[in-house]
Structure 1
Amino acid sequence: MSAVIDTLLLTEVFVTLFVIMDPIGTIPIFLSLTSGRSAATARKYAWQAVAVSFLVIAIFAFFGQQILGYLDISLPALQCAGGLLLLLVALELLTDQEKEPTASVGSNVALVPLGTPLLAGPGAIVATMVFSRQVHSGPEFLAVGLGVVAVHVCLWAAMRFSLPILRLIREGGVLLVTRISGLLLSAIAVQLVADAVRAFIAGEG
């Protein structure tokens, strides 16, 4: 272990959260949710979504067990709720409903569903809470913190540079991406709910 930072833990945190939060996989969903909005608005949504995700992850890293315990909420319940919310978003993408009045009202998709539960979802929250339990010294705290920050930088870069893709594929491509994103999101949502149900059956809820 280094005297300054635990590089092994840093690598483990980064790789685990990178796989769970999937910066590359967020690109088509980000394009779908920001289609029809200006480039400046999309750029703003990119950093806002990352900021919201980082805030949620940080809060649960420090106070996750206390929050869930105080509210008497189990991790499977949190996972099931996130899955159901993502399922609603997926149905909107598949049926075009999200492009109707919500855009004119000025809904900020950076908060929900991008920031949470898509980026800071149950999987990322649980993983961060597990890693936070391993922090017993300064180098370990720095490793977990830098790992979380590095993953969020990757998330921002993926969404920020998805804008040239949007200009390239145009409206027809956006429609195709929207449908694919809705299908992928629905699969993710069903998997989250299924995992939560298995946890309940196993007596973990």
Structure 2
Amino acid sequence: MIELFISALVTFFVVIDPPGCAPIYASLTTGASAQARRSMAIRAVVVAAVILLVFALFGEKLLGALGISLDSFRIAGGIMLFLIALEMVFEKRTQRREERAKEVQASPEHEDVSVFPMAIPMLAGPGSIASVMLMMARSKGLEETLVVLGAMGVILVLSLFCLLAAGPLMRAVGPKVETVVTRLLGVILAALAAQFVIDGLKANFG
């Protein structure tokens, strides 16, 4: 149980990347009142939680309806997570997020950033959706399912804290420390992604 919780916690932390979302949120909400920033942060996390919960509970049935086996999804999800890991190691992910944030800032119709781009795709993007489905697939029984959901909940609460404390957090951490941590987490995610692919291949061809 503890191993599953730690594995799920690390996976969700790396993929959702709460500290990495903080500077983007800070830049997107520049000029907004403290109350507006707080309400948008809460709304973003709630929307992301609902999306991830839906895929956690019904994702496997959706795959079955489409005729996709869970092992095939493990392989595809593992490859997707590996690509995200490469972007983290080579600092491409942060660059892409910053470009997306600039696009949103340049569009006056996007005043409320809680749903887009914060909830989707920064918190509940393809990587986190794939991760929650893969982790749920590995869990057996109600207890393990609750452990995975609990780990996801912890990371979402941490994400909320990071968004609420985005300004002070960025001044405290600094860009250099953030870069080092991002690359280190990218290496860990690459190993987890490789394990997902190996599990899928073993199930298909073992």
Which secondary structure state, in structure 2, belongs to the residue aligned with residue 71 of structure 1?
A: coil
- Write out per-residue CA displacement over residues 131-156 of structure 1, whole angstroms, 9 at most, x where no aligned residue: 35x4xxxxx4xx56654553343233
| Structure 1 portions without partners, runs of 5+ | 1-11, 135-139
2: distance between equivalents of 1:126 and 1:108? 24
Q: Which one-letter code corresponds to 2:20 in the other structure?
A: I
Q: Please state if 1:37 is matched with 2:28.
A: yes
| Stretches of 4+ aligned residues off by more than 4 angstroms | 143-149, 196-203
Q: Which one-letter code corresponds to 1:76 in the other structure?
A: I
**Residue 108 (structure 1) shift:** 1.2
Which secondary structure state, in structure 1, belongs to the residue aligned with residue 117 of structure 2?
A: coil
2: distance between equivalents of 1:15 and 1:196? 16
* Structure 2 contact 75–200 (Cα < 8 Å) conserved: yes
Aligned position for 2:18: 27
| Equivalent runs, 1:1-205 vs 2, <5 Å | 12=1, 16-17=4-5, 19-22=7-10, 26-38=17-29, 39-40=37-38, 41-60=40-59, 62-63=60-61, 66=64, 70-71=67-68, 73-88=72-87, 91-93=91-93, 96-105=95-104, 107-122=116-131, 124-131=132-139, 134=141, 140=142, 143=143, 146-163=146-163, 165-171=165-171, 173-176=173-176, 178-195=178-195, 198-199=198-199, 204=204
**Residue 160 (structure 1) shift:** 1.6
**Residue 172 (structure 1) shift:** 7.3
- Write out per-residue CA displacement over residues 149-176 of structure 1, whole angstroms, 9 at most, x where no aligned residue: 5334323321122245423244574534
Q: Which one-letter code corresponds to 1:131 in the other structure?
A: S
Which secondary structure state, in structure 1, belongs to the residue aligned with residue 121 of structure 2?
A: helix
* Structure 1 contact 29–181 (Cα < 8 Å) conserved: no
1: distance between equivalents of 2:152 and 2:103? 29
Q: How many residues align?
A: 181
> TM-score normalized by structure 1?
0.63
1: distance between equivalents of 2:188 and 2:65? 25
- Aligned CA distance change for structure 1 residues 150 and 67 (closer, same or farther; 3 Å): same
> TM-score normalized by structure 2?
0.63
**Residue 53 (structure 1) shift:** 1.7
- Aligned CA distance change for structure 1 residues 17 and 59 (closer, same or farther; 3 Å): farther
Which secondary structure state, in structure 1, belongs to the residue aligned with residue 27 of structure 2?
A: coil
* Structure 1 contact 53–120 (Cα < 8 Å) conserved: yes
| Structure 2 portions without partners, runs of 5+ | 30-36, 105-109, 111-115
Q: Give the alignment's Cα RMSD to 1 decimal.
A: 3.8
